[in-house]
Amino acid sequence: MEDVEKLEKLNSTTPASTSTAEESKSTQQQKSTASANVNNHRIGAHEKINENHPSSSIINNQRHSTQPSVLLVTALVKAASPRGYSIDARVLIDQGSEISFITDNLVHQLHLKRAHSTLELIGIGGTPSRTTRGVVSVVLQSNMGNQRVEITAHILKKLTTRLPSFSCSTTRIGSLQDFQLADPDYLKPGPIDIIIGSDNYGRIIKEKVIKSTSTQLVGQQTAFGLIISGPINCHSCSPRISSTAVRNSANEQLLELLQKFWVQEEINNSMECHELSPEDHQCEMHFKSTHSRDETGRYVVRLPLKTSATALGDSRLKATRQLHSVMRRLQKDEAHSALYKAFINEYQQLNHLQEAPETPEPSPAYYLPHHGVLRDDAVTTKLRVVFNGSSASSTGISLNDIPYPGEKLQVDAVNVLTWVRKHQFVSHEGGEILKLFLNVISN
């Protein structure tokens, strides 16, 4: 086993309806069910198209309304990631919701660990609305101090429409303007990332309630600052759209489905130039300025780092533990052990790895944990060794976290099959490049 007792180390150590809705009563079903207060400003039944009763295309399109504009409770916070950074998020505080919610997109950006949970949400009239996609814990911090609140939130793809549902440049809030507002941009419509429901409402609320002396607005002190809500008088407000909100939501879903269909049916031109994203452009410029060719013609490149490699902590201990775990499994399977030995020896002969010294490498360095995937039914490659660049170091940062991902180099198989059918005759010249990416050297 001495041939396997080697750590894979990276060759280079240099290298996210406007009318008020009645409160719906929660119902207990056989499945775990959570009810949420859902008018069109919140988790609305209008976001789900009823297949049996599609929305009419002749819904009243009147844009004039005598109803005053109503301000819902929002706050700006910083949502903390377990990896040490934070992201600005907009919160809707809704006592009419039994539980709290967070968008799937924010969960991905924060790299939050989700737990399995499926709740069927009940909307107005007891109608099932949608199902959650898991549950996470997230820490929210005030923008005005060090107050932090950890909440549990259920995951949904989309929470609500942009709030507020009207556009207004200025308005009078009376004596409330003397306080630090939890959402200074309360008049600016924007997406909602988190909904704090009644389950977490008591954890953020404070005692002081303030009523405006000249308006109908009410303020409440919270861990995030002063939240305000109520009807407002704004002569410059754009007219509210009541009944068309249902129709617009249905149209948004229809447009999204149609766009997906267009993308799926689109035939891409292999010679067509496309505009690079800012990150991909950065990678392209980095490659042009740093790559070289060795005496055999192989490319020598450097990792395009977006974060300094010094952010990496100790990874040797975790890689060593993974190696010992692999060795214990190999001791129980001689055939598996022989394949693993052959793989390690081949990598060493090709200079794709080097044996780790007894003394740890000077920082920054990253040791790649690896394990084997054995497929007895495979005809050619029965053993595939997986190198885990997403394994977090002691700082919570992994190798895959610090470089730019770069543009996808491989062409989709669907596009290849489509291109060859555009020509009457197709000829195949050359062959497959053996171990293509392994023949690119990291400097």
| 350-355 contact pairs (CB < 8 A, 24+) | 350/438, 352/11, 352/438, 353/6, 353/8, 353/9, 353/11, 354/9, 354/11, 355/6, 355/7
**Closest C-alpha to 326, from 338, 315, 340:** 340
Instruction: Kindly report the backbone phi and psi dihedral angles of residue 147, in degrees, each rounded to the nearest multiple of 5, phi listed first.
Output: -70, 130
Residue 318: its pLDDT value, please?
92
Residue 154: its pLDDT value, please?
93
Rg of the chain in Å (alpha carbons): 28
CA–CA separation, 244 and 240 (whole Å): 10
Residue 251: its pLDDT value, please?
54
Structure tokens at 265: 């049916």
Structure tokens at 193: 């990332």
* In contact, 204 and 223? CB cutoff 8 Å: yes
pLDDT tens per residue across all 443 residues of the chain: 444 444 444 433 333 333 333 434 344 443 343 433 433 333 333 333 344 444 433 333 444 444 567 778 899 999 998 888 889 999 999 888 888 999 999 999 899 988 888 887 876 666 666 788 889 999 999 888 788 899 999 999 888 888 877 766 666 666 667 677 888 887 788 889 999 998 899 888 888 777 766 677 788 888 888 888 887 776 555 544 433 333 334 455 677 788 878 876 666 654 455 677 788 888 888 889 999 998 888 889 998 988 888 888 889 889 999 999 999 999 998 888 999 999 999 888 888 887 878 887 777 888 889 998 888 887 778 888 999 999 998 888 899 889 888 877 777 777 777 777 777 887 766 556 667 777 788 87
Structure tokens at 41: 């400003």
CA distances for 34 relative to 5, 38, 43, 155, 198, angstroms: 52, 12, 12, 13, 12
Residue 340: its pLDDT value, please?
92
